[in-house]
Amino acid sequence: MNYNLGEKLKSLRKARDLTQEQLAESLCISSQAVSKWETNASFPDITMLPVLAHFYGVTTDELLGVDITKTKEKIKAYSDNLYALYETWNYKEMVEVARKAVAEFPGDDETLFNLAWSLGQAQNAIRTKEENLKEAIKISERILNDSSDTVLRIKTTSLLSYLYHWLGDDNKSLEFANQLPNMARTSDYIIGRLGLKQGKEKISFSKRKIEDYYEALSENVKILVDFNFSIPDSEMKLLPESRIKMIKQLMQIQSIVFGENLLFENFNAMQFCYTIAKLYILDGNTVNAIEYLEKSLEYADKYEKYDEKSCYESDLLFGEAPNERTLWSQSSYESLLFEIKYSKFSGIYGKLDGNSRYEEFVKKLMGKAK
């Protein structure tokens, strides 16, 4: 059935109880133009469509007879497909789906955001990392320039901070990060502080936020203890023993939040342990260093074997499902072996060469990593 724009315009005018002359006066046009529109003798200039839509309080899609519900359903289907591909590490297909969505809905800013996000996640999976990131940045800056959606603008600003960081431009990354609201001004903080959720939804919301805030705490503790050993020794104010103590305290908090079984968090516990081991090596404590390397392998075992259908058993997160192992491409064994043998820190572990207990640990790890 053909859409009748004239009838739509006529019905909107009558719903406002306006004559053609009154509408013409409001829009600074002739009443003859209004009459021609409503009889389909002529059509409004394209520049008048947003004016008419705003005047009548409708979208341009609704004005033109576009089925908004079906459009939203198709956009959501694209988005669902895209994130399903991300979870299975199919980056190339993910970007292809995002491009197809943009081709079909070029004016939808959320769809554009999905393409920029996909390109950022893809990194080297298609083309070069630099090409993907630069295209993602260009799309994101276009969204900020065109969109008035506050939530989307915040998401895009956050994405730009990541994109520039991945591109190696931390000054630009910081510029966008500083544009984001601080924690006290976020919806998560305010909703929790004011208790704006009710019943079961309130409990579920609080559990999700505990995970988020633990992650924020964890990331900042890692910075304080120089988890990546990026601060020169001359500038590091904390002694190895203090850094070890802080990481062990973080692990205690980790157990309180997630429970003793840890589930997905066993991967992070593994990383905590081999970092403690490195610090013990630097402090000249070989026995404790090897002990924590062995603990890192124990956590790797737990990570590889936990039941993904299980739920956390801690008082804080009881009943909440963990992440799936498929979110990370490497196995814990491969990651741990890379840390010991091939990372920039392998020289630190080299100080343990010749120790029979360490050699046994490495042999066991290599057997599991195959």
- The answer to whether the CB of 75 falls within 8 A of the CB of 40 is no
Q: Between 286-305 and 332-341, two packed helices, what is the crossing angle to 10 degrees? A: 150
> Are 231 and 364 found together in one domain?
yes
Q: Which CATH number characterizes residue 48's domain? A: 1.10.260.40
Q: Is residue 96 part of a domain?
A: yes
Instruction: Choose from 11-15, 56-60, 355-359 the range with maximum mean pLDDT.
Output: 355-359
Q: Is residue 50 part of a domain?
A: yes
Model confidence over 212-271: pLDDT tens digits?
A: 999 999 999 999 999 989 888 888 889 999 999 999 999 999 999 999 999 999 999 999
Q: Is residue 74 part of a domain?
A: no
How sure is the predictor about 327, in pLDDT bands with cuts at 50, 70 and 90?
Answer: low
Q: Is residue 77 part of a domain?
A: no
Q: Is residue 191 part of a domain?
A: no
Q: Is residue 202 part of a domain?
A: no
Closest CA to 277 of 251, 247, 252: 247
Q: Which CATH number characterizes residue 156's domain? A: 1.25.40.10
Closest CA to 109 of 154, 68, 139, 136: 139
Residues in the chain: 370
Please count the helices (runs of H) and the strands (runs of E) in the chain. Answer: 19, 0
Model confidence over 145-166: pLDDT tens digits?
A: 988 889 999 999 999 999 999 9
- Which of 13, 29, 63 corresponds to the end of one domain? 63
> Are 128 and 169 found together in one domain?
yes
- Residue 108 has a pLDDT of 83
Domain hosting residue 53, numbered range: 5-63
- Which of 154, 180, 206 corresponds to the end of one domain? 180
Q: Is residue 78 part of a domain?
A: no
> Are 161 and 94 found together in one domain?
yes
- Which of 143, 163, 180 corresponds to the end of one domain? 180
CA distances from 6 to 3, 68, 130, 286, 351 (A): 9, 20, 50, 84, 83
Closest CA to 240 of 228, 251, 225, 255: 225
> Are 128 and 17 found together in one domain?
no
Q: Which pair of tokens denotes residue 213?
A: 């805030």
* Number of domains forming the structure of the chain: 3
> Are 306 and 346 found together in one domain?
yes
The identity of residue 301, as a single letter, is D
> Are 295 and 328 found together in one domain?
yes
- Residue 82 has a pLDDT of 93
- Residue 139 has a pLDDT of 96
* Residue 95 CB contacts under 8 Å (≥ 6 apart), including other chains: 115, 118, 119, 122, 125, 126
